[in-house]
Amino acid sequence: MINLLRFLRLLSLVALALFYIGCSRSYIVPISVSPAQTVYSINKKIEENIVIVFDKNINNVQKNVKPSSYACSIHNFPVNLDKSLALSIKHTTELVFNKVVELDEMPSSEKLQELNSIAVIYVKLKKFYPEISFVNHIFANCVTKLDVYVTGINDEKLLAVEVGGFGESDGSPQGIIICNGGELILSEAISNSIKDTMEKYATILSNSSMIRGYFEYHLKNKNGETIDPPSSSKMPF
């Protein structure tokens, strides 16, 4: 009798597990390119070429987001940024510089001269943390952080900064919980986070006196004028 009860209990646990497995779903989160819409700067666009290099992790960001709430917790919300983050950064950089050339690795000074450029932007993803919960309504938020380095043609340190942004989104009527549709709310939160990061990134680039001074110095030297170079230091990668 005891063995029969154990068997029935085990059988019910297996059935329950199969039920949850059968009911669980993956709602793939659509991702869009989200560049800055506005550059908060009193300065004009820098009419020069810039090279940009992305750390390899930027094009390989994948997250399997699980709801932090009990509701809908059996479901998954897979996120794959693919090239959307890199494209957001590149399109945003084009708001600040005349032309942006993307390379797979840090160029030599000879390569920079060949591309008619004197500086490189190197971008690395530091943090990407999307969350979603289903409590009374759907709520999602996301934190995105980048490490950004700008160096001159001879490895002069022009900028080294962490840029971060936050985005959130919510939806569904109060008190009604529908797991399907959460992927769209999470998508909007991620897009808002990247866009917020991009606006801060563009603002920092455009308002950097070191970057503008460096380009002005080389442009005037190229035209035969003599001015003092901006203060800088070496920065190895």
- Report how far residue 157's alpha carbon sits from residue 30's, in angstroms, rounded to the nearest whole number: 37
- Report how far residue 203's alpha carbon sits from residue 38's, in angstroms, rounded to the nearest whole number: 9
Q: Give 3-state DSSP helix, strand, coil % of the chain, rounded to 5.
A: 35, 35, 30
Q: Is residue 7, in this structure, part of any structural domain at all?
A: no
What element of type H or E holds 230? none
What is the pLDDT at residue 104? 95
- Report how far residue 185's alpha carbon sits from residue 177's, in angstroms, rounded to the nearest whole number: 13
Q: Is residue 149, in this structure, part of any structural domain at all?
A: yes
Q: Is residue 203, in this structure, part of any structural domain at all?
A: yes
| pLDDT single digits (tens) 79-129 | 999 999 999 999 999 999 999 999 999 999 999 999 999 999 999 999 999
What is the pLDDT at residue 200? 96
Q: Is residue 13, in this structure, part of any structural domain at all?
A: no
Q: Which two tokens stand for residue 64?
A: 């399997």
C-alpha atoms less than 13 angstroms from C-alpha of 172 in its C-beta half-sphere:
20
Backbone dihedral angles phi then psi of residue 103, each to the nearest 5 degrees = -125, 160
What is the pLDDT at residue 219? 73
According to DSSP H, which parts of the chain are helical? 2-23, 84-93, 109-114, 182-206, 209-222
What is the pLDDT at residue 43? 84
What is the pLDDT at residue 24? 75
Q: What pairing do the DSSP bridges indicate for beta strands 46-54 and 117-135?
A: parallel
Q: How far is residue 186 from each of residues 89, 124, 169, 179, 233, measured CA to CA in Å? A: 20, 23, 7, 12, 42
Q: Is residue 18, in this structure, part of any structural domain at all?
A: no
User: Counting Cβ atoms within 10 Å, is residue 172 exposed (0-12), middle (13-18) or buried (19+)?
Assistant: middle
Number of structural domains, the chain?
1
Contact 139, 168 (CB under 8 A): yes
What is the pLDDT at residue 130? 97
Of residues 62, 76, 101, the one with CA closest to residue 182: 76
What is the pLDDT at residue 18? 35
What is the pLDDT at residue 190? 98
CATH of the domain at 47: 3.40.50.10610
Contact 133, 65 (CB under 8 A): no
What is the pLDDT at residue 8? 46
Contact 115, 47 (CB under 8 A): no
What is the pLDDT at residue 102? 97
Q: Is residue 11, in this structure, part of any structural domain at all?
A: no
Q: Is residue 19, in this structure, part of any structural domain at all?
A: no
Residue 176: domain span: 26-234
Beta strands in 136-182 (DSSP E): 137-152, 156-171
pLDDT tens per residue, the chain (237 residues)?
Answer: 556 555 445 444 433 333 343 467 899 999 999 999 888 887 889 999 999 999 999 998 999 999 999 989 999 999 999 999 999 999 999 999 999 999 999 999 999 999 999 999 999 999 999 999 998 889 999 999 999 999 999 999 999 999 999 999 998 655 556 788 899 999 999 999 999 999 999 999 999 999 999 998 887 666 555 555 555 444 333
Q: Is residue 162, in this structure, part of any structural domain at all?
A: yes
